[in-house]
Structure 1
Amino acid sequence: MKIGLFFGSFNPIHIGHLIIADTMATDTDIDRVWFVVSPQNPFKKNNSLLHEFDRLTLVERAIAENYRLQASDIEFSLPKPSYTIDTLTVLSDKYPQHEFVLIMGEDNLVQFKNWKNYEKILEFFRIYVYPRPDTPPHDFTDHPRIKFIQAPLLDISATYIRKRIQEHREIKYLVTEPVEALIRLKKFYE
């Protein structure tokens, strides 16, 4: 089975993430998309990061009705910060029956050369890239291991959603109803 790995903090997961994942699962040769919840991204500060298990629960709630989507806590047991190459290696060893494809936004290609062992990622894994607004030029436009996927161009950020929550403003339509209900119940991000 071909599994697309969608890495992220998902702090919180929102409809932009879901639309990208569903597009990958329905419009490409990917069979399933796994949301890999990252406890700590080496490129981001975690000052407003909700606990990893709470973020995993939000992802599980958001995707509960879509059999093509799955949440993964694989990075919870790995050293922090999480490096994509290490997670890809662990997953490949644990699930040799699957072919793994990395899903990323085009904005990440700009800094991809800064990733740990990015050459090894390109050597052993394919990367499916979705468009992101205002992405500057990068060196990977014609790389044979990188495939650009037509997907809706949505400029929704978790930062924006967290800010709205802190301001006691509406987040309806930015996240799914089950995600919003849990955020409100647990007073996440307030």
Structure 2
Amino acid sequence: MTDKFTVVMGGNFDPPHIGHFFCVANLLNCKDVEEVWLVPAGDWRYDKKPVVSANHRVKMLEIALAELSLEERTVISKKQLEGKDKCYTYDLLTAFSKEFKEKNFAFAIGEDRLSDLVNWYNYKELIKQFKFFVIPREEKEGSFLREAKKILKEIELVYLKNAPTCSVSSTYLRQLIKEGKVILPFITPKVSSYIVKNGLYR
């Protein structure tokens, strides 16, 4: 097994935007990171159900990674798109570890989600078995860490201190698209063209 980490980063990517790729670049710039695996959520997701199909979201990710020259060390995994059942983070990382025994998997999480980890499925085994790479939130760097005191005593993490951030949401961008407003540079030009060509988010 390699000493470097393959960091798994989940999300709807609906659409993928520059904030996602800030995170990818920050992770790839960590000396301990070998690759980043992007895992689009399945259509089963109950809390933030994707707006467009998995095929469109994967295609937009492929376009953006090529456009930004990030595809060499960034993999798009369709693991969560394979079935209709829920796939929890613990199950996902465990499945990856069994299938790719030569890789050392970790998980990327937003700083604002840390305190909620105690509510995740099988969280004790999750934080025991896997390292977390924590992505800071703009203008509040470190504040969420203080709120997550309980979990910090048990978890092994790498905090991407001083990493540049971009605070933009897919929800906000979908609204801009619906209203026919400017979405560049929040979304890459080729992804923007793909959205227009396929009439997405209208």
Name the TM-score, length of structure 2 as normaliser: 0.86
Matching residue within 145, 164, 181 for 2:193: 181
Matched, 1:115 2:87: no
Residue type of the alignment partner of 1:31: E
| Alpha-carbon offset, residue 176 of structure 1 | 1.1
Poorly superposed stretches of 4+, deviation over 2 Å: 40-43, 78-82, 133-136, 139-144
Q: 1:1-47: CA deviations, max 9, x gaps?
A: 4211111111111111101111111133101111111114756242x
Gaps of 5+ in 2: none
User: Corresponding residue for 1:149?
Assistant: 160
Q: Which residue of 1 aligns with 2:170?
A: 158
Corresponding residue SS for 1:164: helix
1:40/1:82 contact within 8 Å kept: no
User: Structure 2 CA distance, aligned partners of 1:104 and 1:175?
Assistant: 22
Unaligned segments of structure 1, at least 5 residues: none
Please report how far the alpha carbon of residue 144 of structure 1 lies from its aligned counterpart in structure 2 after TM superposition.
Answer: 4.8
2:47 counterpart of 1:44: yes
State the 1:143 CA deviation.
4.5
- The verdict on how the C-alpha distance between 1:42 and 1:115 changes in structure 2, with shifts beyond 3 A counting, is farther
The 5-angstrom pairing of residues 1-190 of structure 1 reads: 1=2, 2-40=5-43, 42=45, 44-46=47-49, 49-64=51-66, 65-66=69-70, 67-133=72-138, 134=140, 136=144, 137-139=147-149, 140-141=151-152, 143-150=154-161, 151-190=163-202
Aligned pair count? 189
Could you tell me the percent identity over the aligned residues? Answer: 26
